Each structure stands twice: as structure tokens, then as C-alpha cells.
Amino acid sequence: MSALLFHGPGAMEEAIDAVGKYGLLMGDPVGEEGLKTEHVREIVAKLQAPSPGSKRGVMVIGPVDNIPAKAADALLKTLEEVTPNRPLPILWANDAGVVIPTIRSRCLMTWCPAGADPDLPFFDTAAALCRAALQRNWGTVVDLITSNKGDEEALLMATASVLSQSEGDARQWLPMWLSIREALKSTHRSKTEVVSAFLWEQTNG
């Protein structure tokens, strides 16, 4: 079986929860404070040794979207040679788009949304905003944005929470989340412009 790669807001928790399905955790998850080349060499040595005990060993490693090139190179060969008698690497990343393509191609990937938080301010407004965008109801989108002028940052947080929920059609929610994530990287636009650009794309895409 291939190495596993969990990615998204809830990736680390999902990776740890998955351990019991495949075997026994070999020590604490590694890399949360940053994966350096020397750490990866130690990880590789453990992954290339036979699993200890009667159950398969499992190592949780990440975030692999924050790994130096030399460390990634050291990890690649091990990911190519995952066998049943060796420990299973379970990787996690916050953003799969930043993970080195050669690592992604060697793993079975699983999207891990964070749970939605209905208690966030503007959550209901954000949910209405997303529904209107999916229905291409641009008039409602404009009304909701303009009526909440000055609260765009809170509205963005609530919108991200709505889009991270696992309910509904993932083929709709995930592209919307990817779109707002890209929009949020902008440093030269106001929050209103970011919200408007992201929803305009969904409404007119």
C-alpha cells in the first residue's frame, strides 16, 4: 500500500486518528515544529527497518508542505518503497498545493476539512452568502456584502468556516474554498474586494 497524505485544515488530527486503522503509532508525531534534513534521515532509518512487534508500525509526519528540498529528497525513496513488513508513513499537510509534486504523486491523498463553527459571528450570513453564490443569485450576494460593510474580516472568517464543512456537495464547496484561499493571499485589496472577487468568480464562473 502507498503512503498516506492527509491535507486541509483538519489534516493533523485526521492523520493521528487514522493510525489505529493501520497499526501502532511509533512514538509521537514528528515534524510539527519543522522538518529538517537531519530529522528526516532519522525518520527514513525507522521507516526502512522492519515493523516492531506483531502489528505494523505507523509514523505520523508533517507538515510536509513546510519541508526543505534536501529533506524531501531524503524522504522520497522511502515513499517509493512502502511494503507491508515496514512501518507505514502517514503524512499531513495544511495545503496540498504547496507539497512537492513528487511527494504528492507517491501518496494516497485525503482532504480533511475542519468542522464548521455555527457560533462564529456572521456564520448565518456567510451561509446565505455561499448559497446565493452557488445559485448565481448575484443580487442577494451584493446585498449581503453591502449590508455588512465594515465587518468584512469577520464575514471572511465565517465564510471559510461554512466552506470547510463536510456537508453538502464537496464538488461545490471545495472549489469555493480554494477560490477564497487564493483571494485571501492578496495583499493589495481590501477585505470587501476580496469577498466580492471570490463570490463574483463563483457566480460567473
Structure confidence at residue 9 (pLDDT):
72
Of 19, 85, 88, nearest to 53 by C-alpha is 85
Q: Say whether 62 sits in a helix, a strand or coil.
A: coil
Structure confidence at residue 179 (pLDDT):
58
| pLDDT, one tens digit for every residue, the chain (205 residues) | 789 999 877 788 889 999 999 999 998 898 877 788 888 888 999 998 888 778 899 999 999 987 888 888 889 988 988 888 899 999 999 888 788 999 999 999 987 766 667 788 888 888 888 777 777 777 787 788 778 877 877 777 787 777 766 454 445 555 565 555 555 555 555 655 565 555 555 545 5
Structure confidence at residue 166 (pLDDT):
46
* Nearest-angstrom CA–CA distance, 202 and 179: 8
Sequence letter at residue 179:
S
| CB 2, CB 88: distance < 8 Å | no
Structure confidence at residue 104 (pLDDT):
92
* Nearest-angstrom CA–CA distance, 12 and 112: 9
Burial (Cβ within 10 Å: 0-12, 13-18, ≥19) of residue 133: buried
* Nearest-angstrom CA–CA distance, 54 and 58: 13
Structure confidence at residue 65 (pLDDT):
85
Q: Give the position of cell 451584493.
A: 142
Q: Give the position of cell 472549489.
A: 175
